Amino acid sequence: MSKALFREFLRSIRRTIKRYLAIIAITGLGISVFTGVRATGPDMEATADRYFNDNNLMDIRVVSTIGLAGEDIDTILAVDSVEAVMPSKFVDTFVEKDGAEAVGVEGAALVCRAMSLDFGLAREASAGADDSAYMNRLHLTEGRYPDKPGECVLDSSEINSTTTFEIGDKIKLKGDGENLGSILTTDVFTIVGKVETPLFVSYERGTTLAGGGKLGSFIYIPEGAFKTDYYSEVYVTVKGADAFGTFTREYTEHIKGAADRIQAVSADAVSRRAVLLAAEYTPKIEQGEKDYAAKKAEVDAALAKAQEKVDQIIYYAKNGEAELAKKTAEGQAMLDAARAKLDAAKEEYNTGLARYNEGIVQYNEGKAKADAGRPQYEAAVAQLNEAAQDISDAQERINRQQALVDSAENFVNSADEATLATLIANLSAAGYETSFLESLPLSEVKAVISASLVQYRRVLSNAQEKLAAGIAEYEANKKKVDAATAEYERLDAAKAELENAKERLSQAKIDIALGEAQFQVKQAEFEFKIKDAQRDLNLAVANADTAQAEFDKKKAEALAGLAAARLDLDNGKKLLASLDTASWYVLKRSDLPGNADYSIAVENMDAISGVFPVFFFFIAAAVCLTTMTRMVEEERLQLGTLKALGYTSRAIVSKYIFYALSATAFGAAEGLILGFRLFPRAIFDVYSIIFNMPPILLPFRIGDAVLGTLLISATVAAAAFLACRKELLTHPAQLMRVKSPKPGRKVWLERIGFVWNRMSFTSKVTVRNLFRDKKRMAVTVFGIAGCTALLLSAFGLNDSVGGVVEKQFGAGGVSLFDGQIALSQPIDAGIENSEVLGLLKSDVRIKQTLPVFYQSLDAGSASEGSERMNAGIVVPADTSTVSAFMRLENRKTGEKYQLGDDGVLVTEKFAAKTSVAPGGEIAVDTPAGTVKLKVAGIVENYTFHYIYISSALYEKAFGAPPRYNLVMANLADSMNAGSAADRKKAAADLSRDLMNMDGIMAVTLTDQLIESFGNITGSLNDVVFIFILAAGALAFVVLYNLNNININERKRELATIKVLGFYDREVSSYIYRENVFLTLLGIAIGIAAGIFLHRYMVAVAEVNIVMFGREIKPLSYALACAITLFFALIVNLLMHRSLKKLSMVESLKVSE
C-alpha cells in the first residue's frame, strides 16, 4: 500500500469512525460470546479436574453395612488397578453447642458426620508432602489442625446450619439411636479450625440414617477419638484415573472396571466378616442381656433408696417454712403489744407534763401575789399579837378590879379585919393608896370604902366595856390574818405538790426512755432471730434442691448408662440380624453429594454453547459483513477517483480489506481478552452460589480463538473484497459520476388502489422508502430478528429449564407422589403382612401408600448393538392406585395408559434416545442376562428415564416376583396447610419420625427434591440472564450500526427535507416510521425464528436424563419484544440527536 493510499485509509477510518467502531464492537461482542460462553463448560470442568487431582480426591468409596475390618482393607488394596486406600471411620450425630441443639436450615436437628482423619497426613501435606494415601485433602480456611483428642476441624460452609460455630467453641455430639460412648472416647470437641474438602463441591452433604436423613455438616476428628476397631468406609484411588478428566466417559469407564472388581470381591469379604461378627456378637449379646437385667435391678433399687432420702429433706425444708412463718407472726404480735404500751406511757407522760406546767404557772401567779402582801400581813400579825396582849392585860385588870369590887363589897358587908386585909391587898394591887386606911378605924374605913365602892364599880364596868370592844376588834383582825395565813399555807402546799409532780414526771421520762431502749433491743433480737431462722431454712431448701438435682443427675446418669447398654445390645442384635443381607456399596465420584450436579451444570453449559454463542456469532458476522458491503458501495466515488488516478484495483481492494481486517482484528482482540475472562467468570460466579470450588481456571483456548477470529475476519474481508470487485468492474467514468441514487419505482402496494389511495401521504412516502432499498430493509430486519430470536430463545430456555421441576414434581406434574420411602428390607412376605407398611399406614400424616419395586438398570432398544442408558425399572405393587402416584400419559396424544401385562411403558426421552416406538421392543440388562420387553406406550416425563412394568409382567419376564423396596406415599392434606415455614417444619418432622421407624432406610420428600432441583435450575436461569444481556447488547449495537448506515446513506435526502423546512421531529419521524415498521417486522420474524432456535437449543441443551419443557411462556415473548423495542427506542433517540446535528450545508455539497 502506498503512502498516499495509507493516508487515505486512515482518513476513511476517521470519516467513518462510527462504523469502524461499530464493526469493532460487534466483532468484539460476537467473538467474546462465542469464545467465552463456549469456554465456560470446559473451564468449569478443568477447574474441577484440577481441584480433584490436586487434592487427591478418591475415585471410589466403599461403604459396608457391617463395617470394614483390616482384612477387608487389604482385600481392596489387593484388587487390580487399585492405587491406594484410605480407610476412615465416621459416625453421624446431632450437635449441641452451649447446651442447645444445633438446628439445620430445614428446621430439623442438624446432623453432622464426625469423620476420622490422621492429621499427621494433613500436616505433612500442608508442608508439601504428596502422599497417595492421603485422599480428599482438606484445605484449612481458618485455624489449625487438631493435635490432641477432643479437638476437631469443622465444615467451613455453614449454609445448612442455622447455628453458627466459631473457632474455640465446644461442641457436644449426641448419638441418634447409637451409643456414642462405645464409639468415641469423648463426645465433647473443641473446634480448632475450619476446612473445605473436595468430597463436597456443593452445599449438599449427602444422606444419613440419622435424624431427618440429610447430612448438614461434618467434622474431622483425630482417629484416636474412635474406640471402634473397624472402619465405616474406605476411599480408593484407581491407577491412571488422574489422566482422565473427571467428567469424561473415559474416566467413568476406567473407574467402572475397578469398581466392578471391588464389588466382585465383596461377597467373600462380607461373608468372612459376617461369620466373625456372628461368632463375636452372639455370646456377647447373650451375656449382655443378663448383665443388663442385673444392672437394671441394682440401679432401680439404689434409685428408690436415694429418692426416699431426698424426699425427707424436701419435706423438712417445706415444714420449716411454715414454722418460721408462725414464729414470725407471734414475735411480731408481742412486739406490737409492747409498742402499744410504750406509746400509752408516752401519752400519759405528755399530759402530766402539760398539767405540771400549768400548775407551775398558777403557783407562780399566787406566789407573786402573796409575796406582795407579805409585809402588810406580818404587820397585821404583830398588831394582832399586841392586841391579844392588850386584851389579856385588860382582862387582868378587870379581874383585879372585879376582885377589888368583890372584896370591897365583902368588906362593906362584913367590915371585919379579914375582909379588910383582903380589901387592902386588892386595893394596893389595884394601885390605890391604902396606908391611910390602916390608920383609920374600921368604921371609918368602912365609911370610906362604902363611899368609894361606887367608884370602884364604875371603873370595873368601864374596863369591862373597853375589853369587850377590844375583843371584838381583835376577833375581826384575827379573822383576816387567819385567812391570809391559810392562803400562805395553801401556796406552800401547792408548791410541795408541784415539786412532787415534777419528781414523778422525771421518773416517768426515765421510765419511757428505758422502755424504748428495751423495745429496740427486743425488736433487733426478734429480727435477728427471724433472719437467722430464714437463713437456716434457705439453706435447708437449697440443700433439698441440690439434693434433688444431684439425685436427678445421678438418676439420669444411671438411666443413660442403662439406655446406652440397651442401645448397644439392640444395635448388636440389629447387626446380627442384618448379617444375612450385609453388602458393600461401591460408590464413585458421581455419587458424591453435589458432584453430579456440578457435572450436569457443565453439561448444560456445553450443550448451550453449541447453539447460542454460535448463532450469536453468526448474527454478529452477518451484520459486520453488510456494514462492510454498504461502506464500499457508499464510497464508490472514492473508488472511481482512485482508479482514475491510476491505482490498481488490487491496491484499492487492499485498502478496504485492510479496513475490514484491522477493525475485526481490534474487535477480536477485545473480544478474546474479555470473552475468556468475562463469561466463564460471570457464569461461574452464578454457579458458586451452589458450588464451593476454587477460583475458576481461565486458560486461553486457542482453537476457538483462532476459529472465531478467522471466521469473522475472513467473512468481513471477503465482503469487502466482493463489494469492491463489483464496483471496480464497472467503468471508472461511471464510478466518477455523481452517485446516482437508486431510481424510484412503484411498489406493489400501489397497484392495490383502494389501500394505497386511503393511505396518508407520509405513509406512502414510508412505504416507498421501505421498498426502495430492499437490501437495507432485509439487513435491518435480519439484525432485529436475530436479536429478538436470541432474546426469545434465551428467555425460552429459561422457561424450559425452570419448568422441568414444576412439570415433573409440581402440582399437575408427572410425579404426583409426595414422598418416597426406601426400605432397608424388601417386603417379601406379602404386602398385607408387612410391618413397615402397617406402621406407615397408621401414621395419620400419610394418606396413601404404594409399594414399588425399583431398580436402576441399563436398558436400550432391543436391536443389535444399540446404545444402553441407565433407566429406573418401576414395578408398582398395585396397578389400580397407580394413577394417584404418577400420571402415565402420552404428552402429545394425551392418551392415558393403564399398566397392563402385555407391555411396558417407557418415558419419552428414553423412547426418543433409543428410538423405540409403541409396539417395539426394549432390552434390559440384568446381572442374570438381558431381558426383552415389548413397549406398550410412551409416557410424559422430564427427569431421568423410567420403565414401568406391571408386577405380573415383571415376574414373567424376569423370572422372579418383584421385591418391593420402595414405598411411594401421598401425604395427608393437613401436611399442606399453614405457612411455608410450617410446612417445612412438618415435613422435617415427618422425615425424622419416619427415619426413626425400623426398616426405613431413606426418606425423600418431593418438596425437598423440588428445592434442591430448583437450586440447580435456578442458577442456570441466572446464566441465561447473562445471555440475555449479551443478546441485548448485540441488539443495541446492531440497531445503532444499521441506523447509522441508514442515516449516512440518506444524508442528502434528509438534508433536503430539512432545507424544505421540516421540523426536527418531522425529520426524525420521516425515518422513525420506517424504523418502527422494520423493527416490528424484525420482531415478528425474530419471534418465529426464536421459536425454532429455542426448539433447537432445548433439544441440544438437554442433558441425557432430563427432558426440558418445550413451551415458551407468554411473559418471555413479551420480554423479548420489549427488550428489542427498548433498544430500538434508545437507538432512535440517539438518532434523533444526530439528525438534529446533521448539517444541511455539508450534506448538500456537490462533492458528496
Partner 1 sequence: MSFIEFESVYKRYKMGEITINAADNVSFQAEQGEICAVVGPSGAGKTTVLNILGGMDSCDDGKVRVGGEVISGFKRKRLIEYRRYDVGFIFQFYNLIPNLTALENVELATQISKKSLDAKKVLERVGLAERLNSFPAQLSGGEQQRVSIARALAKNPKLLLCDEPTGALDYTTGKQILKLLQDTSRETGMTVLIITHNQAITPMANRIVSLRSGRVFTIAVNDRPVSAERIEW
Where is 1088: in which H helix or E strand? helix 1064-1101
Does residue 1142 interact with partner 1 by CB under 8 A? Answer: no
Does residue 741 interact with partner 1 by CB under 8 A? Answer: yes
The values of phi and psi at residue 85, to 5°, are: -130, 150
Q: From the list 1059, 1115, 1118, 1133, which residue makes contact with partner 1 (rule: CB under 8 A)?
A: 1059
Ranges of H-type helices in 812-889: 835-842
Does residue 764 interact with partner 1 by CB under 8 A? Answer: yes
Does residue 1048 interact with partner 1 by CB under 8 A? Answer: no
Q: From the list 304, 340, 354, 1060, which residue makes contact with partner 1 (rule: CB under 8 A)?
A: 1060
Q: From the list 436, 774, 1064, 1133, which residue makes contact with partner 1 (rule: CB under 8 A)?
A: 1064
Contact pattern from residue 681 through residue 720 relative to partner 1, giving x for each residue in contact according to CB under 8 A and a dash for the rest = ----------------------------------------
Closest separation in Å from C-beta 693 to partner 1: 59
Q: Are 663 and 176 in contact (CB under 8 A)?
A: no
Residue closer to partner 1 (CB basis): 884 or 1148: 1148
Tell me the helix, strand and coil percentages in the chain, rounded to 5. 65, 15, 20
CA distance 1125 to 1134: 14
Does residue 1052 interact with partner 1 by CB under 8 A? Answer: yes
Listing DSSP states for 936-978 in one string gives EEEE---BS-EEE--HHHHHHHHSS---EEEEEEEE-GGGG-S
Residue 485: partners with Cβ closer than 8 Å, 6 or more residues away = 377
Q: From the list 322, 451, 928, 1150, which residue makes contact with partner 1 (rule: CB under 8 A)?
A: 1150
Does residue 753 interact with partner 1 by CB under 8 A? Answer: no
Residue closer to partner 1 (CB basis): 773 or 1007: 773
Does residue 1057 interact with partner 1 by CB under 8 A? Answer: yes
CA-based nearest residue to 232, from 440, 88, 57: 88
Q: In sequence order, what E strands does 657-781 have?
A: none
Query: If phi over 0 gives left and psi between -120 and 50 gives alpha, with beta otherwise, what is residue 856?
Result: beta
> Which stretch, 195-203, 379-387, 764-772, 985-993, contacts partner 1 (CB under 8 A)?
764-772
> Which stretch, 683-691, 703-711, 934-942, 1061-1069, contacts partner 1 (CB under 8 A)?
1061-1069
Does residue 752 interact with partner 1 by CB under 8 A? Answer: no
> Which stretch, 126-134, 296-304, 1048-1056, 1119-1127, contacts partner 1 (CB under 8 A)?
1048-1056
Q: Are 282 and 513 in contact (CB under 8 A)?
A: no
Residue closer to partner 1 (CB basis): 488 or 771: 771
Q: From the list 1056, 1084, 1088, 1103, which residue makes contact with partner 1 (rule: CB under 8 A)?
A: 1056
Does residue 130 interact with partner 1 by CB under 8 A? Answer: no
Angle between helices 1006-1049 and 774-809 (to 10 degrees): 170
Does residue 743 interact with partner 1 by CB under 8 A? Answer: yes
Residue closer to partner 1 (CB basis): 925 or 1066: 1066
Residue closer to partner 1 (CB basis): 478 or 772: 772
Q: From the list 351, 443, 740, 893, which residue makes contact with partner 1 (rule: CB under 8 A)?
A: 740
Does residue 1062 interact with partner 1 by CB under 8 A? Answer: yes
CA distance 480 to 474: 10
Does residue 637 interact with partner 1 by CB under 8 A? Answer: no
Closest separation in Å from C-beta 706 to partner 1: 44
Residue closer to partner 1 (CB basis): 532 or 1064: 1064
> Which stretch, 247-255, 523-531, 765-773, 913-921, contacts partner 1 (CB under 8 A)?
765-773
What secondary structure letter does DSSP report for 918?
Answer: T
Type of residue found at 966: L
How many other CB atoms are found less than 10 A from the CB of residue 988? Answer: 23
Query: If phi over 0 gives left and psi between -120 and 50 gives alpha, with beta otherwise, what is residue 44?
Result: alpha
List binders of partner 1 among 394-433 (CB under 8 A).
Answer: none
Closest separation in Å from C-beta 637 to partner 1: 14
Residue closer to partner 1 (CB basis): 741 or 978: 741
The values of phi and psi at residue 100, to 5°, are: -105, 140
How many other CB atoms are found less than 10 A from the CB of residue 332? Answer: 13
What secondary structure letter does DSSP report for 707?
Answer: H
Residue closer to partner 1 (CB basis): 118 or 750: 750
Q: Are 236 and 62 in contact (CB under 8 A)?
A: yes
> Which stretch, 106-114, 466-474, 734-742, 922-930, contacts partner 1 (CB under 8 A)?
734-742
3-state DSSP assignment of residue 130: coil
Q: From the list 654, 769, 788, 1075, which residue makes contact with partner 1 (rule: CB under 8 A)?
A: 769
Residue closer to partner 1 (CB basis): 646 or 743: 743
Residue closer to partner 1 (CB basis): 754 or 1063: 1063
Q: From the list 431, 744, 838, 919, which residue makes contact with partner 1 (rule: CB under 8 A)?
A: 744
| Strand-strand pairing, 584-588 and 929-939 | unpaired
Long-range contacts of residues 181-186, Cβ cutoff 8 Å, at least 24 apart: 181/564, 182/227, 182/564, 182/568, 183/91, 183/226, 183/227, 183/228, 184/91, 184/114, 184/221, 184/225, 184/226, 184/227, 185/149, 185/224, 185/225, 185/226, 185/227, 186/149, 186/150, 186/225
Residue 963: partners with Cβ closer than 8 Å, 6 or more residues away = 826, 827, 828, 853
3-state DSSP assignment of residue 546: helix
Residue closer to partner 1 (CB basis): 406 or 1053: 1053
Q: Are 789 and 1093 in contact (CB under 8 A)?
A: yes
Q: From the list 305, 726, 742, 774, which residue makes contact with partner 1 (rule: CB under 8 A)?
A: 742
Which residues sit opposite 929 in a β-bridge? 926
Does residue 1066 interact with partner 1 by CB under 8 A? Answer: yes
Q: From the list 754, 757, 1063, 1141, which residue makes contact with partner 1 (rule: CB under 8 A)?
A: 1063
| Strand-strand pairing, 929-939 and 904-907 | parallel
CA distance 51 to 699: 15
Residue closer to partner 1 (CB basis): 573 or 739: 739
Residue closer to partner 1 (CB basis): 555 or 768: 768
Does residue 1136 interact with partner 1 by CB under 8 A? Answer: no
Closest separation in Å from C-beta 1061 to partner 1: 3
Q: From the list 18, 502, 768, 887, which residue makes contact with partner 1 (rule: CB under 8 A)?
A: 768
How many other CB atoms are found less than 10 A from the CB of residue 846? Answer: 21
The values of phi and psi at residue 824, to 5°, are: -80, -20
Residue closer to partner 1 (CB basis): 272 or 772: 772
Residue closer to partner 1 (CB basis): 369 or 1149: 1149
Query: If phi over 0 gives left and psi between -120 and 50 gives alpha, with beta otherwise, what is residue 39?
Result: alpha
Closest separation in Å from C-beta 1148 to partner 1: 7
Which residues sit opposite 97 in a β-bridge? 100, 171
Does residue 1145 interact with partner 1 by CB under 8 A? Answer: yes
- Side-by-side strand order, sheet with 231-238: 82-88, 231-238, 60-68, 584-588
Residue closer to partner 1 (CB basis): 992 or 1050: 1050
Residue closer to partner 1 (CB basis): 176 or 1049: 1049
Residue closer to partner 1 (CB basis): 644 or 1059: 1059
Interface size with partner 1, residues (CB under 8 A): 30
Does residue 485 interact with partner 1 by CB under 8 A? Answer: no
Does residue 738 interact with partner 1 by CB under 8 A? Answer: yes
Chain residues binding partner 1 by CB under 8 A are 738, 740-745, 761-762, 764-765, 768-769, 772, 1052-1053, 1055-1057, 1059-1064, 1066, 1144-1145, 1148, 1150
